[in-house]
Structure 1
Amino acid sequence: MRIAIIDLGTNTFHLLIAETKGDQFKILYKTNVPVKLGEGRINDNIIIPTAFERGIHTLKAFHKTILSYHVDKVKATATSAVRSAENGKDFVRETKKLADIEIETITGDEEAELIYEGVKLSGAIQEKSLIMDIGGGSVEFILCDAEKLIWKKSYNIGAARLMQQFFKSDSISDEDKNAILNHIQNQLEDLFEVCEIHQPKKLIGSAGAFETFAELIIQKNKSNIDILTAKTYEFDYGDYIATTIQLINATHDERMKMPGMIPLRVDMIVIATLITNYVLGRLKINKLVLSTYDLKMGVLATQL
């Protein structure tokens, strides 16, 4: 069977087309577009008109690609930006009408579950671990071990939300940084309580910002690794910390010039860095692994 999976993220829309046979799959096509659906007023729970139009335009293009691959089934999932927006249902309705794509808006819990399934498919979960997926609208945490999912929760502290609310300086000021960290601390108390009980040994970063961290380090070290084809990447902790210090201290223009940086993440990577480093420090974890498999691969896993 040929299946198309669309992941409508707050920052990026992804399209993946795969051929499945039993529990095996082959990826035929994948692309992503920086739609920035959460641009401008995500904290007011509104998709602004220009972002709305970009989203519809992108999904029309996805529909053409899907038709050209003679797909049997389409699974489109929308996450934080659509589920929290007052006009999210309008976006879903217009997509059906103009792009002939049926969107399912999933809950934060369902999102976390699918991220877990995707990461599990990558083989990254070898021991008791905390999976972290930093989106534009929300951040999902999943506590798990090699056999099972233990605990999961979605928090509305995504990079686009925090950037619009707190990030007003260039480079980021101590005042902005402290405001972000205080907000994170207040939001994540129950996460730290459950981790105190279960003591995860490793943080697994699900795609997104963690791919950018990896790409920055790979380019800096001139390593012969292709993140586009890798399922996982194990960070050298010293390299990771050095890179994140550089990111936090850099200006927008300095980050833009870093080899491996993509324009979409130039500013949001600072927020991702602050959240990740706070979690690593609070939980005393110094093992960090990237899983390039994320929500869309989790959706694929449910279809096998």
Structure 2
Amino acid sequence: MALYGIIDVGSNSIKLVVYTEDKHKALKKIENIKVQAHLCDHLEAGYLTATGIEKLIHTLLSFQSVLQAYHLDSLICVGTAVIRQAVNREQVLQDVFKQTGIRIKVMTGKEEAYYGYLAVIHSSSIRNAIIVDAGGGSTEVSLMKNGQLADTYSFPFGVRTILKWIIDGQMTPLQLRLHLIKQFSCISWIQDTGLPLFCLGGSAHQVARIMSHHRNEKLNRTHEYEIQAAELFDLSEEISQLKEEELTQIPGLSKKRADTIIPAVELFISLIKITQSSSLIHGRRGMREGLVFERLYE
């Protein structure tokens, strides 16, 4: 039984996930460790600080005992926006390898989008959609038409970037939405498509969890969870004036994600306005699964 390990160094969290195939040849997650490192909060003037590098190295070293417990057929460590955007990226990569023996592959925005697409195409029956992967430090948007990846674009901001804009008082809620709409308007191929937003990542998962509680439903772990655009607008109105301690009390929302739920909802609403989508679909497979699918099926 083949075992595939993925370490994902993200802007919000650092994850170690181990996958295998079940008897039906479906991808199965057998280990999932997540550390909320918030590395993007340790970017100063474009540089990942010594504290951020130390936190990254400490986290990777903490994974070693788990890695040793598995006889992995392959291990891939990827770095996304926070590493990609760091001015001192090469020094970070050298320090990590020197102290952990792990080489981080820095993914481009286009690569992130591609692996998200692979996850969708291999785990969903949907063939026409705008695929959205909203991370902490970047947002990848892709157009999938008839099951083919038609176009991609990577925006250099994510939910934690948006949170900083809010905390720093740079924008009012209205200014924030207008700014996001302006940013997304730069790609003509998503405008007025009417296609559903197929959303990957933790932020979309949190929105789906909240909505499942609103509906008094159990969040289906094996199929896409659909949220109507009108429901998302209602959610925005409900939470926009809440303080952080009030946000932590929202049923279904992880307390660790309470600070970024407003940025996430505003990001999705801005895309809905641009695309004229009628719904948001939460997909449970994302970039990490795409990396494994490439090795299994491509």
**Partners in 2 of 1:290 and 1:16 — Cα distance?**
20
Contact 2:181 2:274 in 1 (8 A): no
Question: Alpha carbon RMSD of aligned pairs, Å?
Answer: 2.3
Instruction: Quote the residue 2:201 is aligned against.
Output: 207
Instruction: Quote the residue 2:175 is aligned against.
Output: 179
Instruction: Quote the residue 2:39 is aligned against.
Output: 37
**Partners in 2 of 1:141 and 1:190 — Cα distance?**
12
Instruction: Quote the residue 1:163 is aligned against.
Output: 163
Deviations for 1:241-285, whole angstroms, at most 9, x for unmatched residues? Answer: 322222222111110111222233222221111121111122221
User: In structure 2, the residue corresponding to 1:71 is in which secondary structure?
Assistant: coil
Instruction: Quote the residue 2:58 is aligned against.
Output: 57
Identity of aligned residues (%): 21
Structure 2 counterpart of 1:257, from 219, 243, 249? 249
User: In structure 1, the residue corresponding to 2:182 is in which secondary structure?
Assistant: helix
Matches within 5 A, 1:87-166: 87-123=88-124, 125-126=126-127, 128-166=128-166
**Partners in 2 of 1:89 and 1:125 — Cα distance?**
39
**Partners in 1 of 2:89 and 2:48 — Cα distance?**
7
TM-score using structure 2 length: 0.90
Name the structure, 1 or 2, with higher relative contact order (CA <8 Å, separation 6+).
Answer: 1
The reply to whether residue 26 of structure 1 matches residue 18 of structure 2 is no
Contact 2:229 2:277 in 1 (8 A): no
- In the TM superposition, residue 210 of structure 1 has moved relative to its aligned partner by 0.7
User: In structure 2, the residue corresponding to 1:187 is in which secondary structure?
Assistant: helix
Instruction: Quote the residue 1:297 is aligned against.
Output: 289
| Distance of aligned partners of 1:287 and 1:165 in 2 relative to their CA distance in 1, 3 Å threshold | closer
Q: Which runs of 4+ in 1 moved over 4 A?
A: 20-24
TM-score using structure 1 length: 0.88
Letter of the 2:190 counterpart: C
Q: Which runs of 5+ in 2 are unaligned?
A: none
User: In structure 2, the residue corresponding to 1:249 is in which secondary structure?
Assistant: coil
Contact 1:124 1:232 in 2 (8 A): no
- In the TM superposition, residue 219 of structure 1 has moved relative to its aligned partner by 2.4
**Partners in 2 of 1:119 and 1:249 — Cα distance?**
34
- In the TM superposition, residue 294 of structure 1 has moved relative to its aligned partner by 0.8
Q: Which runs of 5+ in 1 are unaligned?
A: none
- In the TM superposition, residue 135 of structure 1 has moved relative to its aligned partner by 0.9
Instruction: Quote the residue 1:244 is aligned against.
Output: 236
- In the TM superposition, residue 66 of structure 1 has moved relative to its aligned partner by 1.4
**Partners in 2 of 1:16 and 1:40 — Cα distance?**
24
Structure 1 counterpart of 2:216, from 201, 211, 222? 222
User: In structure 1, the residue corresponding to 2:5 is in which secondary structure?
Assistant: strand
Instruction: Quote the residue 1:190 is aligned against.
Output: 186
- In the TM superposition, residue 71 of structure 1 has moved relative to its aligned partner by 1.1
Deviations for 1:211-256, whole angstroms, at most 9, x for unmatched residues? Answer: 0001112223332235xx3342122444333222222221111101
| Distance of aligned partners of 1:160 and 1:46 in 2 relative to their CA distance in 1, 3 Å threshold | farther
Q: How many residues align?
A: 294
- In the TM superposition, residue 40 of structure 1 has moved relative to its aligned partner by 4.5
Instruction: Quote the residue 2:3 is aligned against.
Output: 2
